[in-house]
A and B are shown apart, each in its own frame.
Chain A
Amino acid sequence: MSGAGNQTGVSRGSFGRISRRRFLRSAAVAGVSLGGLGSLAAACSSSGTKSKASGSPIPGGDLIFARTADPSSIDPSPVFDNEAIWTVLNMYDCLYTVTSDGQGSKPWLVADHQLASDQLTWTFTLRPDIKFSDGRPLEAADVQFTLERSAKGPNGYILASVDSIDAPDASTVVIHTKHPWGPLLGDLSLYSTGILPKDLGGASASDFFQHPVGTGPFMFDSWAKGQQLKLVKNPHYWQPGKPLLDSVTFTVVPDDNTRVLQLRGGQANVIEFPPFSTVASLQQESNLSVDLFPSTWVGYIRMNEKKPEFADVHVRRAISFAVDRDSIIQSVLFGHGEPANSFFSPSWGFYDKNAQGLWFDPTTAKQELALSSYPNGFDTSIAIVAGDTVNSAIAQIVQENLKALNINVTIRSDDLSAHNALLHHFEYDMAPDYYTLDIGDPDENAPWCVDPIRGGTHSLYTNYTNTDVMKWGVQAERTIDPAKRAALYAKIQETVAQEAPFVELYYAPYIYAHQDSVGGWTVYPTGNYHLEEAWLSS
């Protein structure tokens, strides 16, 4: 799901999952060129990553992975925080998984699928060789149970289109949807649908998740809350020869400097989100590598359309034209980002590289404001999370930029929870934030971003409402043909860009650093990692 959160310097982000927050300040080179996706991978490998791991994969070892936060839970159904999401994805496989470019879904526990001519009945055949970590074979009834449980859970929105699920035999799952449903395969890769044994093996949820069982490459070993969570190799894992590691220990190291120090000092093999400012110095170190993985991350500023100033489209456009994205990318992200032209990221499926986003253009900004009901400017504010160095710097740049329009901005900062409450109750004017995507289909995010009704949070608390955009959004979901969906999403992106409910700022990468003894280490644009591929050379 999209994270949407500011992150604070103290390593707490704002809105969205707790753990996403820190992130921004650490995200780095997106390597995303506006020209298109082709350059994405190339830019990333050339500009950022300098992997020096050598040799061939070696089995064994314990990978110590220092992250910014503790997962909230190891039950895949109710979680929203990134650390939990990326942990459970290594414990419980989903039927599908996101492709390495982030734009699609590929079969994972499924051998193949068929869509009936009514476009409502999907038949999935499970791979025959899948076992749970207790050795029991995976059966269709497990899938049926999991999907039904997940649909009732807090992330149930993702399966809202599912009418019913059948398991006619041990290897066949049939899903009936209420309407033709284009995003279904992507939906089946969302972490909350990670497959669990039927009826949790007869245990209560609290008992089951003491020693959970899944089909993923790693299984639960121990968890000292706030300290470390250890996973060990699943001996029954279905991919031959994997995982290579004996175990993975996720440690919790919220302080950015300490995480970097631990990597240098050898107490961590991989660290999450080193700050932008440390990228250049880490790249100089001989036994370390910095990773700048293309991500689904989009940085933006939301504007509260329940305030009369921001209900005026010309005001929003004027502000969007007035914000200098290049200076934000240079001075805040240390050059590690690309300006955004759409509320979709280039790593999302159906991203439209031709969407005409609004660009920094002070002259046009003044013309736009002259067309509005506030030609002489007004007083307003921008809300950030206290300690969030990235968004604090962005707020100062915006404050400076908007002076040219005679819009006087005061910056207010609150702690994370207080800030989120401001947004939730529409008691703010502007607020910088971000969102990311968890699956290979934009449908996880699009309704939340621009459909005030179906998304449930009033277009990310902007209250942006355009009935055409809402209608096209529904059509895009209820269409199977990818070409037709692409056309609808292109119209949505173009319209949203012109109406500017958000000041789209930048696309940023996921930034990690690892010791050169770590091999097979990759982060997908959705932020998850397949740790069954990773290995340690010493």
Chain B
Amino acid sequence: MSLAAYLRRRLLLMIPIALGVTLVTFFMIHMIPGDPAITLLGIRATPQLVARLHHEWGLDRPLFEQYWLFLLRILRADFGQSLFYGSSATRVILGASGVTLWLIVYAGVLSILMAVPLAVLAATHRDGFADQVVRAIPLVGMGMPTPWVGIMLILLLGLTLHAFPVGGYGSGIFGHLYALFLPSLTLALGISPTLIRSLRASLLDSLESDYVMTARSKGIPERRVLLRHAVRNAIISSVTILGLEIAWLISGTIILEKVFALPGMGALMVDSIYRRDFPVVQGITFVVALLVIFTNLATDVVHSLLDPRVRLE
């Protein structure tokens, strides 16, 4: 199957998935107890005011009609009006998405920068001291809850050493790189153990493979054998793992954004659930679902490009 035909098929498959996501989210958020009008009005929540807000927000219409209107709006990339802010939910979500995308990409890059050298080090010193350390430390890292790691990094690098800001987003590319370093590092520490271990395992496989032996016997320098032949082949299987991890990252940012006071989609999601700000919750879920679907698709495509043996079908 050609790449174009494959992409077309996968994109068509997205439609029922996205529809399913909207259906589940919409009815779940509307079915759980709690009322955005009562929450917004607090002790001023008189029946008259509650009814007035319900009418303004269209919440007095039948649920199925509300769902239908929601679907029609999505076709125009419009998630409706945020109940809390009284302005476009799409714009509120877009405003928050920048931080989250930055975090995910930054954490992905950092995790690769950490995982590749460490995995190479471990694989080339198999069962040696370096290997034991590289295998043990990430396990400890995996066991530590991400928010706690975040707070520890803030205490150490932010407050004690004053090396990084303890919150906020910075401005400009370098500002973002600087301000988002700690949260991205926290996320990267969370995903790199799996990456390191899978990369190490496949490196060991390829280091023992025939083509590496052939390369060595031809007198190619070890460094070149390692980087051009062994790592390049070993990394293919790790791409799939990284893709899965990035999908995990998207959800992992939710708590971390709260810890680092980052105004991203995760923080907005949590606030909007508390407020029962239906349009924003539905919008974010939809956007996140699309992100995950696209990440998986991109992973499959990249995998096939890296490994000619893999066919897209």
Contacts and interface: CB of A to CB of B under 8 A. Distances in A.
Interface in B25-78: 32-36, 38-50, 52-53
Interface residues of B, number: 50
Given A3-B42, A72-B84, A254-B267, 16 more contacts: A18-B40, A80-B40, A80-B41, A157-B44, A225-B92, A226-B271, A227-B95, A257-B151, A261-B159, A262-B167, A265-B165, A415-B34, A417-B33, A424-B35, A457-B44, A457-B46
**Chain B binding site: helix, strand, loop or mixed by DSSP?**
helix
Contacts of B261: 66, 251-255, 258-259, 262
A124 interface: no
A390 B81 CA distance: 34
Given A18-B275, A226-B268, A254-B271, A460 B43 contact: yes
A265 B275 CA distance: 30
B161 to A, nearest CB: 11
B154 A80 contact: no
A399 B165 CA distance: 43
A258 B39 contact: no
Interface of A: 1-5, 12, 15-18, 20, 66, 69-70, 72-73, 78, 80-81, 154-155, 157, 206, 224-228, 251-255, 257-259, 261-262, 264-265, 267, 414-422, 424, 435, 448, 456-457, 460
B95 A421 contact: no
B141 interface: no
A76 to B, nearest CB: 13
A226 B42 contact: no
Contacts of A5: 42
Contact of B159 (A69, A264, A416, A456): A264
B165 A267 contact: yes
Interface of B: 32-36, 38-50, 52-53, 84-87, 91-92, 95-96, 151, 154, 158-159, 162, 165-169, 258-261, 263, 267-268, 271, 273-276
Nearest to B158: A265
Given A72-B86, A416-B34, A424-B45, A255 B166 contact: no
A155 B40 CA distance: 13
Contacts of B91: 225
A226 B91 CA distance: 12
In the complex, which of the residues B49, B158, B167, B273 has the most CB atoms of chain A within 10 Å of its own CB atom? B167
Contacts of A259: 261
Contacts of A421: 33-35, 38
Nearest to A422: B33
B89 to A, nearest CB: 10
A254 B255 CA distance: 12
B100 to A, nearest CB: 11
Nearest to A416: B274
B42 A417 contact: no
Q: Sorted from nearest, which 4 A-B pairs have the closest CB atoms?
A: A417-B34, A16-B42, A456-B46, A227-B263
